[in-house]
Amino acid sequence: MSIVEVIDLQKSYLDPQTKNNFQAVDGVSFSLDEVQIFGILGPNGAGKTTTLEMIEGLTDIDGGSACVKGINVANNPFQVKEIIGVQLQSNEYFDSLSLEELLILFGKLYQNNIDAKDLLGKVDLSEKINAKPEELSGGQKQRFSIACALVNEPTVLFLDEPTTGLDPQAKHNLWQLIKELNDSGMTIILTTHNMEEAETLCHKVAIMDKGKIIIEGKPLDLIHDIETKSGKKENLETVFLSLTGRDLRD
């Protein structure tokens, strides 16, 4: 059963230099089954974040539709927000509050009584319960941002480039947390331009470029297809390069 259904999603913006509209997201469609990890991959500017923001109800949809658990996002954005969790690329908090106080505050926004100690334990931050956000390392801040996204016990969790800027150890710790959340029954959609991350975590991926999905499937299937053509061992980055001719960091 599909828990997320996206059909012909479109978003355009005005280019301040040319004064013309450009398509940031140009006819994106995909569906996601329950308890999957789905990765939207591509270089900077591919339209990954904008796609997520439309599904989350954070950005208006210009065309097409997005449904989460049967709820139309455009028609019922607040109802969708009640069942999703959103971890953004950057977060700003009330620096005078501790992690415990912040989680309790966020929980009250959903009328939930939060057990902050238990929630911080899930993201391996129990010892930081009285710390302020500014006292956390980069990896700890990313894990705390996920804890904030879990205060309403979401059915679907959205992660936007969750390991960008992290050192290798912090990155692998966060991968383990994502796997544990998925194992607990949570459906997860993430964006990344890290192909190793996608191969490690995702059951299915869609590779985007210039606002469009250019290929979709299981990571191993996509790799196998190109290995059959090349006759040598390949990876997801090779798949992307062969389809677009572009480097993932462009």
99-143 confidence digits (pLDDT tens): 999 999 989 988 888 899 999 998 989 999 999 988 998 889 889
> What pLDDT shows up at residue 12?
95
Domain ranges for the chain, please list them. Answer: 2-83+154-244
Q: What percent of the chain has pLDDT over 70?
A: 94
CB contact at 8 A, 146 and 125: no
Please check the confidence at residue 91 and state whether its pLDDT lies above 80.
Answer: no
The region, left, alpha or beta by phi > 0 then psi within -120 to 50, assigned to residue 169 is alpha
pLDDT single digits (tens) 139-160:
898 899 999 999 999 999 999 9
> What pLDDT shows up at residue 202?
96
> What pLDDT shows up at residue 195?
87
CA 189 to chain centre: 5
DSSP state of 232: S
Structure token pair of residue 93: 């908090």
The amino acid at 79: Q
pLDDT single digits (tens) 184-236:
999 999 998 888 999 999 999 999 999 999 999 999 999 888 888 888 888 88
pLDDT single digits (tens) 13-45:
988 888 788 899 999 999 999 999 999 998 888
CATH architecture of 2-83+154-244: 3-Layer(aba) Sandwich (3.40)
> What pLDDT shows up at residue 250?
47
